[in-house]
Amino acid sequence: MTTVRTDDVVDTDRGFFVYGVVDSATGRVPDGLTGVEDTPVSVVARGPVAAVVGEIDLDRTTGRRADLVAYSTVLDRLASAGAVAPVQFGSVMVDEESIVEELLAPNEQYFAQLLADLAGRAQFNLRVGFHEPVVLAEVVAADPEIRRLHEYTRDLPEDAAYADRVRLGELVARAMEDKRELEVEALLDSILPLTVAYSLRSGAGIEHVLDVALLVDDDRRPEFEEHLEGLAEAVHERLRLRLVGPVAPYDFVGGEAWA
């Protein structure tokens, strides 16, 4: 049970939870904003970029649920006030000096460019799922082997014909995966023209058709939302669309250039 620290750091019980990075000149923390441990949120600036931080106790072990919610609340409040680049949850640094010297100074150019790219834009998360009763019926109707297994197993008790049930499920899963690939292409073709960038998330797969983060220009947001509303209506018999956002641009702060 130790708090891991760097070797050259003075021993202290307090540290700084780092929420994100903002522009020094334009980034503002909303009045009275508090974060993890209900401590005030403040900025540590260095040149054109600033870290948004809050003091916390380094020896704490509890309150994780509240911490996650506090973290996302702070970032969404910041995002609604201007460009912010979220820092991964749980990042804590020991003092203001290390924030300036180790985080801000070495990455100044990168953060400045990132914030410029994020300015006037917001992230939305779109998740698309099959309306299963309809799509399963399509699958059964289209494949004779699936139909045969379905007709054979459907009236048997649940613990009977185990191998046939597994085989049926496997064939259905494959058929839905084939459908998924077709749907994803059509969905992205329809949506991406209204976005600046996109990032596929890990939630997609066998249970979801598509799980994607979208970066949208603020001035195109009404058009974007209206388009998705229309799309959701057009495909609603087979697909269900769920849009969350705007949220802070968690998926657009690292890796490859996108702007």
Residues 239-258 that bind another protein (CB under 8 A): 240-247, 250-251, 253-255
List binders of another protein among 51-70 (CB under 8 A).
Answer: 58-62, 64-65, 68-69
List binders of another protein among 192-231 (CB under 8 A).
Answer: 201-203, 205-208, 218, 225, 228-229, 231
List binders of another protein among 85-104 (CB under 8 A).
Answer: 85-94, 98, 102-103
List binders of another protein among 105-144 (CB under 8 A).
Answer: 106-107, 109-111, 114, 125, 129, 132-133, 136-137, 139-140
| 30 in contact with another protein (CB under 8 A) | no
Q: Six-digit token pair at 187? A: 């969905």
| 15 in contact with another protein (CB under 8 A) | yes
Give the nearest distance from C-beta 173 to another protein in angstroms: 5
Give the nearest distance from C-beta 197 to another protein in angstroms: 14
List binders of another protein among 138-197 (CB under 8 A).
Answer: 139-140, 146, 150, 153-154, 158, 165-170, 172-173, 176
Residues binding another protein: what is the number (CB under 8 A)?
A: 95
Which residue do the tokens 């949208």 mark?
Answer: 216
Give the nearest distance from C-beta 190 to another protein in angstroms: 13
Pairing of strands 239-247, 14-23: unpaired
Angle CA 218–223–226, to nearest 5: 125
With a CB cutoff of 8 Å and minimum separation 6, the contacts of 123 are: 213, 214, 215, 216, 245, 246, 247, 248, 249, 250, 251, 252
Check: CB of residue 77 under 8 Å from CB of residue 30: yes
Q: Using CA atoms, how far apart are residues 225 and 60, in angstroms rounded to an integer?
A: 42
Check: CB of residue 124 under 8 Å from CB of residue 214: yes
